[in-house]
Structure 1
Amino acid sequence: MINIKTGKYISSLCDAEMVQSASPTTSIKYRHVKKSHPITETLTASYCSGCIKCWHYLSGQCLYTIRERRQTLGLTYHPRLPKLVTVGDDTKLILYDEETRTQERIFQASGAPDMMNGHKSRVFCVCFNPASNHEIVSGGWDDTIQFWDVRQPFVLRHITGVHICGEGIAIRSDGKQILTCAWQKENAVQLWDYSTEKLIANLEPEVYKSQLYCGKFINDIFFVCGGSDNNYIRVVDLRTNSTISGIKNLPGGVYSIDIGPISATQLKRSRPTDEIDLPKLAFCSDKAIFEIELS
C-alpha cells in the first residue's frame, strides 16, 4: 500500500501463503459496501497461482481465500449483490456467492465444434452490465466478446474481432453501450450497441495510436484508455471523438487504470454550468503507479 499524499510505501498485503508461494497479482477490486455486507476497507485480489484473497487492507488481514486450479487472470464484483466472477486461462467464468464463499456456477462453451457459445482461449476481462442483475460480458485471447446470462448455460451472442489482453471492456452506466479497448493495431477502440452487438463507431481520436490493454468510462461523455507499442494513456471526449488529455512516452505499457473521486480543489472552484468536473485517475506503467488530476 502507498500513501497517495506522500507517495511513500506503507505496507504490503501478504500472508503466510503468499510468502511461501509468491505469485503475480492479476486484478484488484474494491468490495462494494452495502447494508447487507457493511464491512469497509476491503478489497479482493486475484493471483496467477489461482488464489482469490479478500483483504482488510488497513489491518493487512486476509479475511478469506478461494483457491482455483488454474491461473486466475481477473475478477469483478456484482454491482448490487454479494457475488463475484473470476476468469482465467481455462476459458471458464466462475460465479461465487461471497456470503457463503462457495462456487455458484461455471460458465463455459458446450464443446460443440460447430458452435461459438463460449470462450476458446484465455479470458482476461469480465464485467457485469450495471443495468442488469443477470448479464455478464467477457473477453480474451479468442478475439471474441461474449454475452452471458446467469440464468442460461451458454452464451446468448458474441462479437468477433476484438483481441482483449487486460481490463479492456467497459459498459456505460445505463447498460446501453460497450467500450472495447483491444491489443491490436487497427480498430483498437470501438463502441458497440449492447442490445444488438452492432458497431457504433471505430474511435480513432488522433494519429498517435496505441495497442490497448485497458479502458474505462469516466462518465457517459468521457472515457480513458491505455496500452503499449506507444506507451500512452489518453482521455477521449465521445461527443467530438477527440483526445482532450494524454501522456505519451511513458516508461512502460499502461496495464491498469482506476478512477477516483472529484478532487477537493475542483469542488471548491467556480466553473461554468456547462463544464464537467473530471475525477482523479491512477494508472500503472512499468513498475510505477501514477496519479493524474484532470482539469
Structure 2
Amino acid sequence: MEEDRVINHLHTIADSGDILAVKWNPDDSHLATACADGTVKIYASSSGNFIRTLNCRLTADPMPVTALQWRPPTSQTKTKNVLVATTADGGVLHWHATSGKILHTIRFDQENQVFCVDYDLEGKYFAVGSKDMSVRVYDESTKTIIAEMQPGWGDVIGHGNRIFSVKWRDENTIISAGWDNNIIIWDVRAQRAVRAIFGPHICGDSMDICENKLLTGSYNIKDQLQLWDLNTGHNIFTQTVVSNSRPCLIYTAQFSKSDMGTIIAAGGSGSDEAYFYDSETLRPFGILSNLTHAVYSIDFAHTSNKLAVASGDGSIRVFEIAKNRQD
C-alpha cells in the first residue's frame, strides 16, 4: 500500500497590497502578516477573522515590514505572543500581539533597511540582517548588541551586499545569506565567519535548516532549489524549478515543522506558483498554480500539517497536507 500526499485548501484570508511575510504563532492559533504599507496584521488562523493591525511605521512615508518572527515560548518568559517585526525604514519592533502594545523599538539609521530576523531556540537572543551587510546579535532581555559580524573585505570573509535571510543553527552558530551569492556560517562567540558557501542568490526568507541539512531557494532562472551538507559545505541536491517553461524565481523556501522536515515548500515569482517536495526522495508531489501574483512567503504550522501561503495579491491561503492511501 502506497501513501500519496494531497494538498487541501482550507480557506483564504483576503486583504489588499503585497504581503511580504506570514508567520504562525507558537501554538498555531494566530497568523501574522508583514505588509508593504508598513503594518502587521493579526488573524485567527482557524477562521481567518481579522483581529488587529500593528502600525510599524517609523517615518512619514509608509515603508514595508520586511520580516516577522515570534519569540519562542519558554518557562522563563512571562509574556507570551511576543512578535518581532523588521522594517525597511530601519526598525526592529517588539510587539505584544495579544494586546497590541508596543514593547520595544530599535531604530537603525533610516537608510539602513532591516530585512530579516531570527531567534535562537531558547529565545534568549535574536539576530538581524540588514542593508549595511552586517549581522547583529541582540540579548532579548536587555535589547543590547552582544555580537556584530561585519561585512567582508580583503581576505576577511563576510557579506558584500544586502542580507535577506539569517538563521540560528545552534546557540553559537548563525547562517546568513543575501544578494552577494554567499552563504556565511558565523561563530557568534568569535564574531567571525568559519565557512562560506558560494552560489545561492537569496532575495527573501528562502533559507532553512533541518538537522545537518541547509535548504536554499535562489532568485535565479535555474538551479534555484538546493540542499547543502552543513558539516562539509557540499551541495547534495540541486533542482531547476520550472513550470510550463516559466522558471520560479524563489523568494521563500522552508522545511515542514511538525514532522521533522519531511516536506519542502518553495515559492516565488516568474511562474507565480508554490512547489512541494518530499524531502527524503526529493521528488515533487504538488504545485499550487493559478495564482496571479508572486508568492513571497510560506510558513508551516508548528503542531500540524497546515501551511500558509502569502502572495502579492494580498491573500493568505491556508492549506492542509494530508496523506491519501492508494491500494
Give runs of aligned pairs for residues 233-252 of structure 1, distance below 5 A.
233-252=274-293
The one of 212, 216, 224 aligned to 1:180: 216
Check if 1:196 corresponds to 2:232: yes
Corresponding residue number in structure 2 for 1:62? 102
Bigger relative contact order, structure 1 or 2 (CA pairs below 8 A, ≥6 apart): 2
1:206/1:242 contact within 8 Å kept: no
Check if 1:11 corresponds to 2:52: yes
Shift of 1:19: 8.0
Corresponding residue number in structure 2 for 1:255? 296
Corresponding residue number in structure 2 for 1:169? 207
2:127/2:166 contact within 8 Å kept: yes
Give the secondary structure class of the aligned counterpart of 1:241: coil
Q: Distance in 2 between matches of 1:21 and 1:64?
A: 21
Describe the shift of the 1:289–1:109 C-alpha distance in structure 2 as closer, same or farther (beyond 3 A): same
Q: Which stretch shows the higher mean deviation, 116-125 or 204-213? A: 204-213
The one of 118, 133, 151 aligned to 1:76: 118
Structure 2: segments with no counterpart, 5+ residues: 1-41, 323-327
Corresponding residue number in structure 2 for 1:119? 159
2:132/2:162 contact within 8 Å kept: yes
Give runs of aligned pairs for residues 1-295 of structure 1, distance below 5 A.
1-14=42-55, 18=58, 20=60, 22-69=62-109, 70-112=112-154, 115=155, 117-129=157-169, 132-172=170-210, 174=211, 176-204=212-240, 209-218=247-256, 219-262=260-303, 279-286=305-312, 287-295=314-322
Shift of 1:42: 1.5
Shift of 1:195: 1.0
Number of residues of Structure 1 aligned to a counterpart in Structure 2: 273
Q: Distance in 1 between matches of 2:297 and 2:88?
A: 16
Give the secondary structure class of the aligned counterpart of 1:284: strand
Q: Which stretch shows the higher mean deviation, 212-221 or 19-28? A: 19-28
Q: Which stretch shows the higher mean deviation, 205-214 or 194-203? A: 205-214
Q: Distance in 1 between matches of 2:156 and 2:317?
A: 39
Q: Distance in 1 between matches of 2:47 and 2:195?
A: 47
What TM-score do the two structures reach when normalised by structure 2?
0.79
Shift of 1:14: 2.1
Q: Distance in 2 between matches of 1:91 and 1:232?
A: 30
Describe the shift of the 1:220–1:6 C-alpha distance in structure 2 as closer, same or farther (beyond 3 A): closer
CA RMSD after TM alignment: 1.9
Identity of aligned residues (%): 29
2:71/2:123 contact within 8 Å kept: no
Describe the shift of the 1:157–1:262 C-alpha distance in structure 2 as closer, same or farther (beyond 3 A): closer
Shift of 1:116: 5.4
Shift of 1:159: 0.9
Q: Distance in 2 between matches of 1:179 and 1:12?
A: 32
Shift of 1:207: 5.5
1:147/1:158 contact within 8 Å kept: yes
Task: Read off the aligned partner of 1:34 and give its amino acid letter.
Answer: T
1:205/1:236 contact within 8 Å kept: no
Q: Which stretch shows the higher mean deviation, 144-153 or 118-127? A: 144-153
2:58/2:89 contact within 8 Å kept: no
Give the secondary structure class of the aligned counterpart of 2:105: strand
What TM-score do the two structures reach when normalised by structure 1?
0.87
Shift of 1:10: 2.5
1:30/1:44 contact within 8 Å kept: yes
2:113/2:130 contact within 8 Å kept: yes
Q: Distance in 2 between matches of 1:107 and 1:262?
A: 34
- How far does the alpha carbon of each residue in 1:93-133 deviate from its partner, in whole angstroms, 9 at most, with x for none? 01101111111121013522xx250000000000011xx21
2:69/2:85 contact within 8 Å kept: yes
Shift of 1:251: 1.9
Task: Read off the aligned partner of 2:228 and give its amino acid letter.
Answer: W
Which is strand-richer, 1 or 2? 2
Task: Read off the aligned partner of 2:145 and give its amino acid letter.
Answer: Q
Q: Distance in 1 between matches of 2:81 and 2:181?
A: 36
Shift of 1:4: 3.0
